[in-house]
Structure 1
C-alpha cells in the first residue's frame, strides 16, 4: 500500500513510475528515517570534503588559466547524490572519492551538514541550485528520488530533451538563471549547478575610499587596473611559509557567520606551484594559525564580480569518474532507461562590494603606534593588488563554499 501511495505521489509531481518498475530497482538504498547518530561528526565531515575538493580545485585551476570561482561543496553534494543510486562497484568508487563512510546513517549526517551551510539571509544572499534534468521519457527510481530530495541533495526536474530542444533550452535557462550554457544534450539527462553570492561584510569598507589602482602580476609588472576598497581595521592574519603568502580573514554577515580568507603571494614563487601545494591539512593549519592584530591593519581588496562556467564533467573525468557518462549499468538503479548525463555544468558568481553591517570607526592615532602582535613579515597592511587566492567558508564547520583565484583585473593594459 505504501509503495502504491508513493508511486501516485511521485506521478502527481511529474515523476513517472510503475509498481512493476519499482520492484526492479535495487533495495539497497537505505531508509534515512531509521537513522540516529548521537555524536559530533563536524571534523570528520570537514576532512571528507577537503579530501575531495582540493583535487577538484587543482583540476579547475589547471583548466582555467588560474582565474576562476568554484563552488566545491556543491559538487561534493551532487556527486554524493549520484553515488547513492549508483551500481555497487561505482558506488564504492564514488564513496572513496568523496571520502565518506559506508555507514549510511553517518553519511546522512554529512549531508545535513553539507546542505545547511549556504542558506540565504537578509545580510548574506547565497543561492545554490542543484538539478538533475531528465528527459520526459525517463522513469525515476522513487526510493532514490525520495532519498536525494528529502536530504536536499538534488532537485529532479523533467524536460523534453529528446523531442523539443527549444523547450529544453528554456527550462535550462530558467534553472541556471542566465543565458544558455554550453551543453551537450546527446544523452537523456544533464546536471546543472549554480551558486551565487552577494553578502554584507561584518565591517564595511569605507564608502569614500574606492579608487582606481594598478594591478600587478607576480613579477610586479602592471597588467591592469581595479577598483580598490580600503579600510583600517583589526583582523586575524597569518603567514604561510609553504605558500609564501600573507593570509587575512574577513568576517561576513551577522556575527561573522561566514569568513572569507584572502591570500596574497609575497615570495618569488609561481602561482601554479602555490596551487599545487595547497592541501586540506595546510588549509586547516592556516585557519588554526590565524592571530588577531592588536592594532588596525590597512586592508585593500578589489571590488569585483567574478563568474565562471565550468564543465564539471571533464573535471570529474580528471578525477577518474568516467563510467558515469557512458555506461548505462552505472545508473540502472537511478532510472529506467538508465540515466546517461551528457553534461554537468556549474555556473558560479561571486560579488565583492564595500557594503557591510557596521561602519569601521577610525581609531585614535595612539592605536597605531603599538606592536601588531603578528609575525613581523606581515607588516601592517594587506594589499591585494596582485594575483591572490580567496575562499568563502562557513564559520561553524569551516566547510569551503566557494574558492577562487583572481589574476585578471577588470581593466587590462595591452603592451605595445
Structure 2
C-alpha cells in the first residue's frame, strides 16, 4: 500500500524532553514539577461545563461502530477478505493526535472519529474505550500502542503527558534517521512482526494486539474433525480442523446482508462474545461486507434468539496473524490531513514530526479450550446436552428460530467475525476468514 506523505507538526509549547539512548519502552521521562505551571490550558475545552454531565454511552457506541465499519470495509477490500484488525485501538491513537491538533485540522480528525468538540465529553469516550480490555486467566490482551519519534524531536511535554496519563498513546524516542536498521529490527521484535514497512519520515505510529481467549465452556476436544473448506461458489479450496458441538445456541438472520450470525460466549460468565456471520447465498462475503452499515451489530443483537433444541455447530480452529500499513486506508476514510497536509498546525513536537506510517499487527488464536469443561451444565458454549435421548424426535422439532437460519451453523465457507465485550458491545477486533492455509 502506498505510504502517504507529509504531516507537518508545528508550534512547541513547553519544555524540552531529555533525549536518551534508544529504548522507547520506558516512555517519556517525568517532566520536572512546575515546568508547565505558567502555560495554562493548551487544548480547547467547552465553556458549557453542564454538557460534561451528559450520558454519552450511545454516542460512543455510534462513533466506535461507524469508524469500525469504514475501516473494516476498506481493509477487507485490499486484503481479499482475509484479515483481522483492531479498529478501536487505532481510533484511540488518532484521538491522541486530535488532542494536539489546532483549529480546522482538529475538527477534521474529530469528525473522522465522531468525537465531540467538548474535551470533557471526549474524555468520557476514552474512559469507556480504555476499560474494555480487562485481561484475566480466561482472556489475554497483549497491547502496544506507540508513537515513535526521532531523537532529534523535542516533544511538547504537556501534550505527551496528557495522552500518556489518559492511556491513549505512549510517546517514545529512537534513532530513526541515524540508525534505522536497528530501530526497525527492535520494533519487529517488540511487535512480533514478520516485516516492517519503509519509514521515510522522522516519526511513526505503531499498534499491536496479541489475543488468546477461552470460550465460556470448552468445545469437546474429541470432536475436532478435519474437513473441507469451500469458497462462496461451493468449490473446495482447502482443509481445516473444525470444532464441533451439538448445543442450544443463539442465532440470528440478518436480511440486509443475507447472512446468519452465531453468538458465542467467551471468558468467565460470558464477559466477552464472538459473533460469526456466514452468508446464505452465492453472492458471497464480498457483497456482504459491502452492504455492512454501522447499525449492523445492534440489529444482530436485537435479532438473536436461542434455539429450543440442540443444533449442529462447526467452526474452524485457526490462528490469524495480520499486519498492514494503514496510512492509505485512513486517508480514504477521512484522516487525510494526518499524512497529507503540511500546512496543518499541531501542538505535538518541534522540529515538525512527519509520520508516514501507521502500522498495525493483530494476532488471534481461536481454539477449543474453555473456562469450564465441556461437561458443564447447559448454558455455556461447549456444554453438551443429552441429545442422544431425543433421537429422531429432536430432528423433527421446531428450532424456535427464523426459518432462514436453518437447523445448523456450519462455517465451512468464507465468514466474518467480531469480538465484543458483553457490557457495552464494543468491538475489540474484527476480521474475515476466507483462505484456509494462510498464515
Per the normalisation by structure 2, the TM-score is 0.85
Partner of 2:180: 165
Cα distance in 1, alignment partners of residues 203 and 345 from structure 2: 12
Determine the C-alpha separation between the residues in 2 that align with 1:21 and 1:234.
60
Q: After superposition, give the CA deviation of every residue in 1:331-385 in whole Å (9 maximum; x if it has no partner).
A: 5311111221121110011110000112123324238354221112222210000
Distance verdict in 2 for CA 1:176–1:56, change over 3 Å: same
Give the match for residue 3 of structure 1: none
Q: 2:201 aligns with which of 167, 171, 187?
A: 187
Query: 1:128 offset after TM fit, Å?
Result: 1.9
Equivalents in 1 of 2:36, 2:57: separation in Å? 38
* 8 Å Cα contact 1:293/1:372 also seen in 2: yes
Distance 1:39 1:185, change over 3 A: same
Out of 53, 58, 62, the position equivalent to 2:73 is: 58
Alignment match, 1:389: 416
Residue matched to 2:364: 350
Q: Answer whether contact 1:15 1:140 (CA < 8 A) is retained.
A: no
| Residue in 2 that maps onto 1:363 | 386
Contact 1:16 1:139 in 2 (8 A): no
Structure 1 residue 49 corresponds to structure 2 residue 72: no
User: Unmatched 5+ residue regions in structure 1?
Assistant: 1-5
Following superposition, the deviation at residue 27 of structure 1 comes to 2.0
Q: Counterparts of 2:45 and 2:183 in 1: how far apart (Å)?
A: 33
1:151 equivalenced with 2:162 (yes/no):
no
Return the match for 2:230 from 192, 211, 216. 216
- State which drifts further: 113-122 or 379-388: 113-122
* Structure 1: distance between partners of 2:334 and 2:385: 53
Per-residue CA deviations over 1:271-330 (Å, capped at 9, x if unaligned) read 222111111122211111111111222110000001111111111111232232244543
Distance 1:20-1:330 versus aligned 2 partners, 3 A rule: farther
**Which residue number corresponds to residue 304 of structure 1?**
318
The worse-fitting range, judged by mean Cα deviation, of 315-324 and 230-239 is 315-324
1:337 and 1:51, CA in 2 relative to 1: closer, same or farther beyond 3 A? same
1:326–1:48 CA distance, 2 compared to 1 (3 A): closer
C-alpha distance in 2 between matches for 1:142 and 1:132: 14
Question: Which position in structure 2 is the counterpart of 1:261?
Answer: 275
The residue that corresponds to 1:282 in the other structure is 296
User: Which residue of 2 is the match for residue 227 of structure 1?
Assistant: 241
CA distance in 1, matches of 2:329, 2:143: 20
| Partners of 2:355 and 2:428 in 1: CA distance | 24
Stretch of structure 1 that moved more, 393-402 or 358-367: 358-367
Aligned residue for 1:212, secondary structure, equals strand
Task: Verify the 8 A CA contact 2:43 2:99 in the aligned structure 1.
Answer: no
Match for residue 199 of structure 1? 213
Q: Matches of 2:199 and 2:366 in 1, distance apart?
A: 34
Q: CA deviation at 1:8?
A: 9.1
Determine if contact 2:313/2:408 at 8 Å carries over to the other structure: yes
Q: Distance in 2 between matches of 1:372 and 1:16?
A: 61
Structure 1 distance, partners of 2:186, 2:29, is: 16
Q: Secondary structure at the match of 1:330?
A: coil
Q: How far 1:218 sits from its partner (Å)?
A: 1.0
Q: Distance in 1 between matches of 2:212 and 2:250?
A: 22
User: How far does residue 36 in structure 1 lie from its aligned partner after superposition?
Assistant: 9.3
- Contact 1:17–1:142 (8 Å) recurs in 2: yes
* Conserved? CA contact 1:176–1:194, under 8 Å: yes
> Secondary structure of 1:85's partner?
coil
Q: Which of 382, 400, 407 is the matching residue for 1:373?
A: 400
Structure 1 equivalent of residue 258 of structure 2: 244
2:218–2:370 contact (8 Å) kept in structure 1: yes
> Is the 1:130–1:194 contact (alpha carbons within 8 Å) kept by the matching residues of 2?
yes
Partner of 1:405: 432
Deviates more, 1:168-177 or 1:279-288: 168-177
Please report how far the alpha carbon of residue 26 of structure 1 lies from its aligned counterpart in structure 2 after TM superposition.
8.2
Question: In 1, Cα distance between the equivalents of 2:103 and 2:75?
Answer: 28
1:48-87 deviations in Å (ceiling 9; x for gaps): 1111111111110111011111111111111111111112
8 Å Cα contact 1:224-1:411 kept in structure 2: no
Contact 1:328–1:339 (CA under 8 A) maintained in structure 2: no
Residues 368 and 175 (structure 1 numbering): CA distance in 2 closer, same or farther, change over 3 Å?
same
Q: Is the 8 A contact 2:36 2:158 kept in 1?
A: no
Q: What are the residue-to-residue correspondences of 1:124-139 with 2, within 5 Å?
A: 124-139=139-154
Match of residue 89, structure 1, among 93, 104, 108? 104
Q: Could you tell me whether the CA contact under 8 Å between 1:139 and 1:336 is conserved in 2? A: yes
Seen in structure 2, the aligned counterparts of structure 1 residues 37 and 235 have a Cα distance that, compared at 3 Å, is farther
Higher helix share: 1
